[in-house]
Structure 1
């Protein structure tokens, strides 16, 4: 398929209805596959590699002992979700079943670092040079290898005194559980932008956002 097979959010949700172990996050599809053993995880890793080669479409796979963290996006379509991503996700899930892997999407976490600024253009080159990052969207810098968190510039005429904060992406299905734990640990919560994100502030005034796929476009 060409790079014009981008899925709308409505179509992504329809595909996810047939992929209960996958979630939409940060422009892609993602899951976590827990295998019975480390050897089974390596077997599944190899199977995913074969599927990727056959489809000529390659996911990001992070192997951690008996667990694989898998993310799919179409870089040739501007890092959007395409029909190719959905098709490969289904093949990966089937391969996981062959080795008795369990999909545990509740373990998904993604991190972006946000920096408040009144002038993105004034400071972005400094951070790009220091990190070796490249421009993504107009308000972000990305690691070209995909290993480090995206740096997102939150443009504001009145930057917060605490200019840095973390945007922590969690599945919407797990958000309330995470928020309850954060609140119980001592944070105050601002839910005015829920369910897309909730601002948490710790006892010393440091902020973070618990974000979900809800309200986020494809």
Structure 2
């Protein structure tokens, strides 16, 4: 497909206005569909698979008992959202509605591991080799099978004492209760770059970031 198949961030959000079951983040459309039973989820999985085959465009689907976690992105244009993704999202939403599946956007969380370093090249190959990952154009590491969390390197002249932290991406629409719960757990929140991301530090000094798609371009 040509590069013109790719949608801008503004075009993605315009399409989402007609796709209430879906959320956007990290270069992909995502949804979680909860079904009446495990059997119903498996049947919906099969129907979505048939629709994907007809469209010759295949989503990543994780079946967990009565819930399907679905990710749509176009790998052939650099893992960005294309018109093929929005078209298949509309098709999936239609069959999901027919089956009685319910979208659960609060279940959508994507985990990445960030490593502070002042020399990316010195450590990148070690992590890539150990995990069997592939290096991406931006220098991050990704599981070619889409199962493990991505690894990215936060280059800084002054690495944090705890060099590893998690980036947890949630839909902006679901971020407030997550942050409130973190504050209640005792974490110290730094909202200086919110809503793109909020740094949370636990009582032992370990960090994580709650990230959203708001005001933040996917890497």
Which structure 2 residues correspond to residues 42-81 of structure 1 after superposition, within 5 A?
A: 42-81=42-81
Which structure 2 residues correspond to residues 116-195 of structure 1 after superposition, within 5 A?
A: 116-195=116-195
Distance 1:217 1:154 in 2: 16
* Partner SS state of residue 180, structure 1: helix
Shift of 1:163: 0.0
Shift of 1:98: 1.4
Whether 1:83 aligns to 2:83 is yes
Shift of 1:36: 0.8
Q: Contact 1:110–1:170 at 8 Å: present in 2 too?
A: yes
Distance 1:128 1:22 in 2: 31
Aligned position for 2:103? 103
Shift of 1:3: 4.5
Cα RMSD, aligned residues only: 1.0
Which structure 2 residues correspond to residues 190-205 of structure 1 after superposition, within 5 A?
A: 190-205=190-205
* Partner SS state of residue 127, structure 1: helix
How many pairs were matched up?
Answer: 218
Can you list the C-alpha shifts for 1:85-116, whole angstroms capped at 9, x where unaligned? 00000100101011100111121010000000
Please say which of residues 47-56 and 135-144 is displaced more in the overlay: 135-144
Shift of 1:217: 2.1
Distance 2:11 2:67 in 1: 29
Distance 2:134 2:21 in 1: 32
* Partner SS state of residue 4, structure 2: coil
Can you list the C-alpha shifts for 1:33-66, whole angstroms capped at 9, x where unaligned? 0001111101100011001100100000000111
Q: Contact 1:38–1:65 at 8 Å: present in 2 too?
A: yes
Distance 1:18 1:43 in 2: 25
Q: Contact 1:4–1:77 at 8 Å: present in 2 too?
A: no
Shift of 1:137: 3.4
* Partner SS state of residue 4, structure 1: helix
Shift of 1:208: 0.3
How high is the TM-score relative to the length of structure 1?
Answer: 0.98
How high is the TM-score relative to the length of structure 2?
Answer: 0.97
Distance 2:217 2:138 in 1: 16
